[in-house]
Amino acid sequence: MRKLFLFVIALLLVGSICVLGDDADEATRWVASEMTFTSDRDYDNPFYDVDFDVIFTHEETGYVLKVPGFWDGGRTFKVRYALTKTGEWSYVTICSDKSNTGLHDKTGEIKCVEYEGDLEIYKRGFVKTDPNLRYFVYDDGTPFFYLGDTHWFLGEEDMSSPESMFYAIVDHRVKQRFTVYQSEPLGAPYNLADGFSSADLVGFWNLDAKFKYIADSGLVHANSQLFHVTELMKYYNPIYDDEYLDRLCRYWVARYSAYPVLWTTAQESDNDFYYERGDSIFDAENNRWVKVAEFTHKHDPYKHPLTAHMEHTSFCIASGSSFRDLEGHTWYGAQFSFNYDTPMPWDIVKDYWENGQGKVIVNYEGKYDHLWTMTFGARAQGWIAFLNGMYGYGYGAQGIWDDWFNNEDSYDGRDIIKPEDKMVTWQEALKFPSGDQMTIMRSFFEEYEWYNLIPRFDNPEYISGESSYKNKYKDLVKFKNTQYSLASIDNDLYILYLFNDSMFSATLKGLDNTIYSVKWFNPRTGEYSKEKNVFIFNRKYNIGAKPDYEDWVLVVEKKTYISFYMLIALMLVAVTQITRQVRRKRK
């Protein structure tokens, strides 16, 4: 029933009838509400001719929230807002045309009540960044696990029925415990290259319905603004001067900032949309998308986390970002991938960790399942991200991110992806095993304090790729493994992901000389092996062989804080006591 109800809302929105707003004197904390106002006069072009804001004041604390309003056709203006504190609020409207009695100096009161539902995003508040933390948190400080699903053609996704592509994918990803919907508005039925007019509103009504459903489903929406990156980078259009871009960003913020969102600016706009290979006519110093990010942050009353979708790491990494010093830039949306027949690229992940200004880092785009990789690669990217200081992963599946493909074989260093593999529907893509394996990955990390894991990269104080094991012929096999990712919490917990296609593992170092529990975790099935206890003698643990040639996760956790030498002493005491008892019985 809920989906059917929201589907009807979507149809009404596309028909320009407002049903989102409650225009009531009560609102729910963190949940988007809406008020509608009617201008007492017509304007030649309302988008350009008049500015409209609503100032909300929390009566108890005096906290002020200034929210931009937006024109929605004819004489209709709206404000979409989310109140951040419970209690009584007052509001007053501000219009640049102060003689407009329908828009200026309208006042009222709103009571904000606590959210009583089950969705974490509304129980805990909008996602934010903290300059002292490398992961996202909810407003109440609870760590937010970023697991995204990629949709670059949001504007084209069908929502004509409750079973259509848009609704079906959102619902399925929610069941799989994804937390983020990553989108670009490509395919939205508007054209902003010739100015803004009423003809463009149908495109925004389409996006309105989708933004609302995503939010009502409990997902955070990491959205790119306005249009494709090439609109500002590949061609020069004089209409996109600073004033017009400022107004467009204000309009985008006015419509969508009241939802739980993250701003991602534009596809591969950081640092210059591949200027060096000829894809852009603007270099990093003249990147027009920097202005979009600046204006978006300026108008955003909630100061949502903002980034710019980065070029592939072979072109741009954190130290080369053209957005890194921009006010409001609080996280990096990396595009990180590599072939699995090559060593782990430590220089890239280290750059983000060491030169990322302590900001949140997310592997926002990797290789899409059934396009540039297959099940293994789509799964491995998530584990590699979280264990290398990227506390978030943007998963992508062919047929859902888009249905484009190159009609030739692709190779990711492990699998060959043939053209027939790439010809999949969104219904088939929803059934990819890698999607369910993202659920497994999230559940695993939430068993531990994933947000306290520190990446150890190839630090010789914590790990050596050199190890050995005895094969079935009892021969000692020595090897060096370069395909692993390790993170630890001090030397209390080690989580090691081994993605080499052999049985080689590694040697862990820096452990205390005490007892640790050791167990293997299967990232394909979510099953653990039987736990065993090991005594550490020389602060090292030679893991030996992996269970098989697939990827595996090893969990090594300190069992007790009794040192090995204390343990030996206790054992000697116990043996002495037993010996004495035996002697007494003999007497």
Q: Report yes or no on 574 lying in a domain.
A: no
Tell whether 347 and 300 lie within a shared domain.
Answer: yes
Tell whether 95 and 227 lie within a shared domain.
Answer: no
Q: Are 368 and 398 in contact (CB under 8 A)?
A: yes
The total number of structural domains in the chain stands at: 3
Query: How many residues are recorded in the chain?
Result: 587
Q: Report yes or no on 359 lying in a domain.
A: yes
Tell whether 194 and 319 lie within a shared domain.
Answer: yes
Tell whether 249 and 214 lie within a shared domain.
Answer: yes
pTM of the complete model: 0.90
State pLDDT tens for residues 257-304. Answer: 999 999 999 999 999 999 899 888 888 888 999 999 999 999 999 999
Tell whether 212 and 326 lie within a shared domain.
Answer: yes
Q: Report yes or no on 285 lying in a domain.
A: yes
Tens-level pLDDT at each residue, the chain (587 residues):
444 444 444 444 443 333 333 455 899 999 999 999 999 999 999 999 999 999 999 999 999 999 999 999 999 999 999 999 999 999 999 999 999 999 999 999 999 999 999 999 999 999 999 999 999 999 999 999 999 999 999 999 999 998 999 999 999 999 999 999 999 999 889 999 999 999 999 999 999 999 999 999 999 999 999 999 999 988 888 899 999 999 999 999 999 999 999 999 999 999 999 989 988 888 888 899 999 999 999 999 999 999 999 999 999 999 999 999 999 999 999 999 999 988 899 999 999 999 999 999 999 999 999 999 999 999 999 999 999 999 999 999 999 998 777 889 999 999 999 999 999 999 999 999 999 999 999 999 999 999 999 999 999 999 998 755 555 555 665 656 679 999 999 999 999 999 998 888 899 999 999 999 999 999 999 999 999 999 998 999 999 889 999 999 999 999 865 555 555 655 665 566 667 666 666 65
Tell whether 30 and 172 lie within a shared domain.
Answer: no
What residues make up the domain containing 276? 140-449
Q: Report yes or no on 16 lying in a domain.
A: no
Tell whether 299 and 165 lie within a shared domain.
Answer: yes
Tell whether 274 and 390 lie within a shared domain.
Answer: yes
Give me the CATH number covering residue 520: 2.60.40
CA-wise closest residue to 309 among 355, 257, 363, 351 = 363
**Rounded Cα distance, 499 and 415, in Å:** 13
Tell whether 339 and 403 lie within a shared domain.
Answer: yes
Q: Report yes or no on 516 lying in a domain.
A: yes
CA quadruple 395, 399, 404, 405: dihedral sign: positive
Helices (H), 15-68: 46-49
Q: How far does CA 157 lie from the centroid of its chain?
A: 20
Residue at a domain's end among 418, 449, 480: 449
Structure tokens, 442? 């999230």
Residue at a domain's end among 398, 422, 449: 449
State pLDDT tens for residues 373-413. Answer: 999 999 999 999 999 999 999 999 999 998 777 889 999 99
**Rounded Cα distance, 552 and 380, in Å:** 10
CA-wise closest residue to 362 among 328, 386, 383 = 386
CB atoms within 10 A of CB 317: 24
Q: Are 321 and 357 in contact (CB under 8 A)?
A: no
CA quadruple 76, 82, 88, 91: dihedral sign: negative
Look at strands 463-464 and 454-455 and give their pairing. Answer: unpaired
Instruction: Give the largest CA-CA distance in the chain.
Output: 113
CA-wise closest residue to 435 among 410, 404, 401 = 401
CA-wise closest residue to 224 among 283, 273, 277 = 273
Q: Report yes or no on 79 lying in a domain.
A: yes
Tell whether 234 and 359 lie within a shared domain.
Answer: yes
Tell whether 501 and 392 lie within a shared domain.
Answer: no
Q: Report yes or no on 129 lying in a domain.
A: no
Look at strands 493-498 and 484-489 and give their pairing. Answer: antiparallel
Residue at a domain's end among 427, 449, 471: 449
Give me the CATH number covering residue 95: 2.60.40.10
Q: Report yes or no on 14 lying in a domain.
A: no
**Helix and strand totals (H; E) in the chain:** 14, 31
Tell whether 403 and 480 lie within a shared domain.
Answer: no
